[in-house]
């Protein structure tokens, strides 16, 4: 079940990358969404929320061949949500940029929504 939700989330990202339309992504997110993004050169992760500028993110990939994929490593069902851990790979013009990711999915109005994400670039 949650595997399909994660697959659809990354399909939404890829559709957004192809069309430059962030609505595909945002409809998968909780309005209470919080994310954290970091890499080894930073001491403190960047924090963002539901209202972060997805247009600016997508514009970075204009005129590039960009796709996202995700390999699930573990799924943990908790009392109120699902914890999914794995490797997210952004491929841009044939170059892979892998990251470890933790996603927290929760049902809201009978739909699974992304509540939190933690992204840590590998390279």
pLDDT of residue 72: 98
CA distance 44 to 38: 7
Structural domain total, the chain: 1
pLDDT of residue 62: 86
Question: pTM score, two decimals?
Answer: 0.93
CATH number at 59 reads: 3.10.450.50
Query: What region, left, alpha or beta, does residue 44 occupy, with left being phi > 0 and alpha being psi -120 to 50 degrees?
Result: beta
Listed in sequence order, the residues at least 6 apart from 102 whose beta carbon sits closer than 8 Å to its beta carbon are: 83, 84, 85, 116, 117, 118
- Domain that includes residue 107, residue range: 2-121
Query: pLDDT tens digits for the chain (123 residues)?
Result: 899 999 999 999 999 999 999 999 999 999 999 999 999 999 999 999 999 999 999 999 988 999 999 999 999 999 999 999 999 999 999 999 999 999 999 999 999 999 999 999 997
């Amino acid at each position: 079940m949650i595997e399909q939700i994660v697959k659809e989330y990354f399909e939404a990202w890829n559709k957004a990358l192809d069309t430059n339309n962030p609505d595909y992504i945002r409809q998968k997110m909780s309005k209470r969404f919080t994310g954290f993004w970091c890499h080894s050169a930073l001491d403190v992760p960047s924090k963002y929320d539901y209202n972060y500028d997805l247009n600016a993110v997508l514009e970075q990939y204009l005129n590039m061949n960009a796709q996202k994929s995700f390999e699930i490593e573990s799924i943990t069902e908790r009392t109120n949500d699902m914890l999914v851990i794995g490797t997210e790979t952004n491929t841009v013009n044939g170059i892979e940029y892998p990251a470890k990711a933790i996603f927290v999915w929760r049902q809201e109005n009978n739909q699974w929504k992304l509540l939190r994400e933690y992204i840590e670039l590998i390279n």
